Amino acid sequence: MLPGQPPLRAFTLGLLAGTIYFAGTIYWTGTVIITFGDVNPIVAMVGMLLLSAYLALYPATAGLVTSWLVARAGSAGLFIAPMAWVATEYLRGYFFTGFPWVPLGNSQVTVLPVAQLASVLGVYGLSALVVYINATLVFALLTTGRRRAAAVAAAFVVLVAVGGWGAWRIADGSLTRSGTPIRIGLIQGNIAQEDKWNPAHARRIFTTYIAMTRDAVRRGAQYVIWPESATPFSFEDPRDSPEGTGAVRDLSREVRVPMLIGSDQVIRREPVTESELYNAAFQLDPDGNTVAVYRKIKLVPFGEFFPFQRWIAFAAPLVQRFVPFSAGEGPVLLPVGPHRASTAICYEVVFPALARDAVARGSELLTTVTNDGWYGYSSAPYQHWEMAAMRAIEQGRYLARAANTGISGIVDPYGRVVVRSGIFEQAGLVGEARFLTGRTIYSLIGDAIAWVAIALTVLAAIIARGHRGSR
């Protein structure tokens, strides 16, 4: 941000840059509603661009605040940019149901030594680090002499310290030797989205999952996970397919392992015409009994529920295609022998607070079930996978992910991939994870850095108000 640049221009440039960034990141939302919502392609693309422009308001606001502070405090005001960025990025995960897709810090998830900072400050701490390093580079371009040298030296020390500590943490690897090991089977049926609820394909889908489960157990799986909405019927709904529910219970008794089954849940009320529909995951014990049911808390806007329906008449075909789901009330611990796991369904895994809440309640293993078949061969499945991997680092837990069309896999507490599938392939993965009970600093303090960022941004604005420093 150049000193003296008008804040309105900074906001406009931030809005433009943010819109381009998000359009290049979530372009697949347009494809989804074209393919599965029967929406006119032009209307779909306009909708995608409007969503991108809305998301761009957050980095644009960060640019506006930074520019305003630079105008009053000189180039030193650049160093409030990390806080302004984190404050707005954090709020993006809460306003209007929240959409914390691909926060800036997630760009470091494969840079493992740096990514370990997430175990202390979470993904928003990584976002602050990325912005701080870039703000220092800009500051160095705008200043000379000792100020430039001091700023660059400080950033270098911070980066070396973070990377060095992260490399040591990974090399130590104590979390991969702690706890109790378990071999997990992940069933990736690779069922085409258009076939999932087609009665003509129901038997094929069901027998595929049964055969793949038996094979995974033969290869040593001690806990089997099916993806989101894996069954071609609503599990435990006597009006849908009692035979299918019974067959799943029989399978669990046959293979003698606990199973996590992604399926819709229908709760019927009196009068009989009323019911509630949940996107759920059912935990079965080796005797085939349902010992826990998790209901999805964070529903996908315009996919599982429709906010602002009166203003989205253009998407009527999409609204009519989907039946709105009800939201669950909170995390549920899933008994796996003497241990406890937790799960997130699809989009929920991008919310750091949900995983933290589950660990705080006693989860020793993170799992997530999803159906990314909606996204086709776009970048969305890869983005989704990497955001899930960040939860493992933050919480110091193994994370196991079963996806209908991929990516399925297991990530260790340092973000390293234990086993992983490709997309749009049928795969039954078996890999080792561990039940862990320790807590990371981040799991204890949560997104404290976001609240600090909000407070410091407000404080800086108050102090800078009416002052104009040297540049």
Separation between Cα atoms, residue 394 and residue 53, nearest integer Å: 29
Residue 302 has what pLDDT? Answer: 64
pLDDT > 90? residue 276: no
pLDDT-based confidence at residue 72 (cuts at 50, 70, 90)? confident
pLDDT > 50? residue 112: yes
pLDDT > 60? residue 469: no
Catalytic residue among 89, 196, 296, 364: 296
Residue-range domain boundaries for the chain: 7-174+446-464, 179-437
**Lowest-confidence segment of 37-41, 250-254, 317-321 by average pLDDT:** 317-321
Residue 236 has what pLDDT? Answer: 86
Whether the CB-CB separation of 274 and 281 falls below 8 Å is answered with: no
Catalytic residue among 89, 196, 228, 348: 228
**Lowest-confidence segment of 70-79, 110-119, 171-180, 181-190 by average pLDDT:** 70-79
Catalytic residue among 196, 304, 346, 364: 346
Looking only at the bridges linking them, the beta strands covering 259-269 and 223-225 are: parallel
Residue 271 has what pLDDT? Answer: 62
pLDDT > 70? residue 275: yes
Task: Look up the CATH number of domain 179-437.
Answer: 3.60.110.10
Residue 252 has what pLDDT? Answer: 95
298 tagged catalytic: no
pLDDT > 80? residue 157: yes
89 tagged catalytic: no
Residue 35 has what pLDDT? Answer: 75
276 tagged catalytic: no
pLDDT > 50? residue 56: yes
Section 224-247 average pLDDT: 89
Whole-number percent of the chain with pLDDT over 90: 70
Residue 244 has what pLDDT? Answer: 87
Residue 425 has what pLDDT? Answer: 96
